[in-house]
Amino acid sequence: MIFLELFFSFLKVGFSSFGGLSMVPVINAEMLSHGWMTQEQVIDIIAIAEMTPGPMGMNCATFAGMRVAGIPGALMANLGVLAPTLTLTLVAAACFERFRKSRGLTNILYGVRPVCMGLIFAVMLTLLDGTVFQAGALHWQSLVIAAVGAVLMFKWNWSVPKVIALSAALGLVLVR
């Protein structure tokens, strides 16, 4: 019974939030309403989930499920939080496959590409402040690292992990 309760509680988290910090109130309410954790324990779980790599919802589900019912509890909580995403992805894949040759879908996807590129460019511009520009001044070391990374990725097709590792090493050497 506890496994189904964990599954449905985290199913509610998956359906009613959009990831990240929007999950916190729902997780908090579920943990407290079932008496699985105290407020302090929920805060600890969320802090740990924020510090560990991976999506916060998955991390919270893993830690909360493990605390409540061990490894099977963690599995059920993870299945619950993933179910909405998996369901929507399967439906989208089925629809995409069905309408793959559709002229309308082709036009939609053609229009989505520039929008995605614009969003990526906007994020890049936002991140420039505090990286390449610090306190209103150009930080040349960061600019060099960014340029080297861009050349390696776009001209010589280096993988992202390799570029990140080299960028970290250059950061240690150039910026200290």
pLDDT at 48: 87
- Range 66-75 average pLDDT: 95
- Per-residue pLDDT band for 134 (boundaries 50, 70, 90) equals confident
The domain of 73 spans: 2-98
Asked if residue 169 belongs to a domain, the reply is yes
State how far the Cα of 125 lies from the Cα of 119, in Å rounded to an integer. Answer: 10
Q: From residue 20, give the alpha-carbon distance in Å to each of 35, 63, 159.
A: 23, 15, 27
Question: In the structure encoding, which two tokens stand for residue 13, read together?
Answer: 């988290």
pLDDT at 92 over 90: no
Counting the structural domains of the chain, the total is: 2
Whether pLDDT at 176 is above 80 = no
Cα distances from 68 to residues 7, 42, 111, 147, in angstroms, run 12, 12, 47, 49
**Whether residue 20 has pLDDT greater than 80:** no
Domain assignment of residue 103, yes or no: no
The answer to whether position 88 is within a domain reads: yes
pTM to 2 decimal places: 0.58
**pLDDT value of position 96:** 81
- Do 152 and 86 lie in one domain? The reply is no
- Supply the DSSP symbol for 19: S
Residue 139, domain member (yes or no): yes
pLDDT band at 154 (very low <50, low <70, confident <90, very high): very high
